[in-house]
Structure 1
C-alpha cells in the first residue's frame, strides 16, 4: 500500500511526533518541528489538505528575526486556531538585526499571549531586550515559563516584568537558567521549579522564593555553590524557615563544581518541619556530567551520587 493512500488521521498522528531537537528547556513538552510543514504542504494537493486540515500540527511556534521564521510564525498562528500554543522566542538574536521584528511581534503578540500554554525565552544579548513587546499582555492559559541565557558571558540581570506585575502567578512550572533575578511574586499553583546555573542568586533569595511556592512538588537546583554577599556559604537560621512545603517530594541538587553541593539549601531542608502524613522527601545529589536536567527527574535514568531522605519517615519504595 502506498503511503499516499494512508488515511489523513494516520498522517496527522505521524506528523505530531516529529520533534524539534533544539528544544532543551526543562519541563517544556517536546515541541514539534513545524518548519517541515510548509514544504510538505507544497509537494502535492494531498499533503496540502493533510497539513492544513489539522490545527494541532501548528501549535509549536519559534519566533525569531529571520524573515523565514516570521513567515512561518504567521502561518502557524492562523492555522492553529483555536488551539493553545507552545512558543520559543529568541530575544535580540546576534547578527540578525531587523528593525521590523519588533513591529511584527507587537502586532501578533496579543493573540499569542491569550493562547499561550508554554513559553520559552532565549536571551542572546542584554543591551536590546524586547521585554515590552512580549510582556505587556495577559497570559490566561500559561502553565510553563522558561527563560534561558544563551550569551557567552554574563547573566540575565534585567527585571522580569511579568513577575513584577504578577501576571503569571498562576504558573505550574517555572525554569530559570543563568538568571540573577528572583521572581518577587507568590506562586500558589507552582508545582515544579528549576533554577539552573544561577551563580549570581543569593542563597536567601532562593530560600525566600521557595517560601512563596507553598504547593511545590519538585525542585531542580544547580549552581557552582550557593553564596551570600560575602561569598561565604549561607547558614540558614530558624527565622529563615518561612513556610513548610508539605507537597515537596523530590529535589535534585546538581553540583557543577567540586566540593559540597549546595550546602545552604541542604541545611535549609534539614530544618523544614516534619510533614504530618509521614511521606518521604527524596533528595538526589549528583554531578552535572553531560546530561540534561530532565534526566534527573526520571527514576533510574541516572544513578545519583547520593540519595538522602531527610526530616521525614523513610519511604517504603526506593
Structure 2
C-alpha cells in the first residue's frame, strides 16, 4: 500500500491524536505540529483548524515581527477554550519598552489564559507594566524568569484581580504585596541569584499568603524574618551563601513556624550544622510535629575534612522531629560521622534513610 495514501486517509480522531502528541515533544520548537500537519492537505487543514483544543498552547517569540499575527491565529482558532501562553525573548532586547509593547498583545485576551510563562531579559518594572492594572480572571499558574540584574525589583501584578491564581514561580523579581489574589495562593516559588541579598519577606508572606501549601525560597541569611504558615506542607530552601557557623542551620529552622509541614528540603548545608541541629531539643519559635521527610543537600564543593573538636555525639534520634520517617543526606560533608552518630540511632528500625555520599567522603562510612 502507498504510504502517502495511507497517511492521507487517516481517520480524523487518529489525526487529531497524532497532532496533540506532537505538541508535547519539544518545547519552543519552531515547527509546531498543528502548523505543520495543517499544511499537508486541505482535509488535514480543515480537521486541524476546526479543532480548537489544538490551538491552546501558544509559544511566542517576543522578538518576532509576526508575533501579533501568530497570537491572533491562536486566540481565534482556540475559540472559547482556555489557553497556556509562553512568551520568550530569542535574544536580548535593548529597550524594555519594546518588550512591554510586545507583551501588550495578550492583554485583551488575558481572561482566556490559564497558564502564563514569561522568559525575559529586561527590566521587569518596565517590561511587565502591561500586566499591572488588569484582571486575569482565569489565570491559575504564573511563571516568570527574568535574567536582568535589577536590585530588589518588585512589581505589582494583576491589581484588578486574579481570583483563580494558585501557583506563582518567579525568578529575578518579587511580587508586590498586598494584592487581592495573594490570600488564595497555595504554591509560591521565589528564586533569586547569588549576588542579591535577603529581604524581610517572612512577615509579608505570613500575612498575605496564609493558604500556602508549598513554598520555595532562596535565602542568604536569617534576615528574611519569621514565617508563620499553618497550612504549609512542603518547604524547599536554598541557602545562597555557605555559612560556616555551626548554629546557622538551627537558626534557619527556627524561622519557620509550620506545624503542618511534612517535607523539608534545605540546600547548601554542612555536616557539623546537622550535628548541632540533631543534638538540639527545642527551638524558641518553631516546632515540627508533623514532619516526616527531611533532606539535606550539599550542592557545592566542600572543604570540610575533619570532625570539629566541639562536635557532640548523637545519642538519640533527632528530638525536634518526632514523626521523622525519611532522612536523606545528599553529597553531605562529614558523612561518616553522620552515619555513625545519627543513622545508627534510628528509632527501633522505623526510620528509612536515603543516602548519597560525596565520593571523597565514602571511606569510613557505616
Which one of the candidate residues 224, 245, 267 is aligned to 2:254?
267
**Is the CA contact 1:170–1:188 (under 8 Å) kept in the aligned structure 2?**
no
CA gap of 1:246–1:128, structure 2 versus 1, over 3 A, is: closer
1:246-261 alignment, distance < 5 Å: 246-259=230-243
Which blocks of at least 5 consecutive residues in structure 2 are unaligned?
Answer: 270-294, 299-316, 327-351, 353-366
TM-score (norm 1): 0.69
1:55 Cα offset (Å): 0.9
**Is the CA contact 2:124–2:153 (under 8 Å) kept in the aligned structure 1?**
no
Which blocks of at least 5 consecutive residues in structure 1 are unaligned?
Answer: 24-31, 227-232, 289-302
Cα offsets for 1:18-42 (capped at 9, x unmatched)? 226447xxxxxxxx98734223212
1:39-188 alignment, distance < 5 Å: 39-63=36-60, 64-90=62-88, 94-95=92-93, 106=104, 109-110=107-108, 112-126=109-123, 129-151=126-148, 154-155=149-150, 157-162=152-157, 165=159, 167-168=161-162, 170-180=164-174, 182-185=176-179, 187-188=182-183
Name 1:11's counterpart in structure 2.
15
CA gap of 1:98–1:65, structure 2 versus 1, over 3 A, is: farther
RMSD of the TM alignment (CA)? 3.9
CA gap of 1:144–1:262, structure 2 versus 1, over 3 A, is: farther
Which one of the candidate residues 195, 198, 202 is aligned to 2:198?
202
CA gap of 1:255–1:99, structure 2 versus 1, over 3 A, is: closer
Q: Work out the CA distance in 2 between the residues paired with 1:309 and 1:113.
A: 49
1:8 Cα offset (Å): 1.9
1:76 Cα offset (Å): 0.7
Q: Work out the CA distance in 2 between the residues paired with 1:116 and 1:12.
A: 22
1:11 Cα offset (Å): 2.6
Name 2:323's counterpart in structure 1.
314
Name the stretch that deviates more: 258-267 or 112-121: 258-267
1:10 Cα offset (Å): 2.4
1:273 Cα offset (Å): 6.1
CA gap of 1:35–1:265, structure 2 versus 1, over 3 A, is: farther
The answer to which structure, 1 or 2, has the higher relative contact order (CA under 8 A, 6+ apart) is 1
SS of aligned partner of 1:129: helix
CA gap of 1:217–1:58, structure 2 versus 1, over 3 A, is: same
TM-score (norm 2): 0.61
Structure with max Cα Rg? 2
**Is the CA contact 1:169–1:188 (under 8 Å) kept in the aligned structure 2?**
no
Q: Work out the CA distance in 2 between the residues paired with 1:34 and 1:159.
A: 36
Q: Work out the CA distance in 2 between the residues paired with 1:49 and 1:80.
A: 14
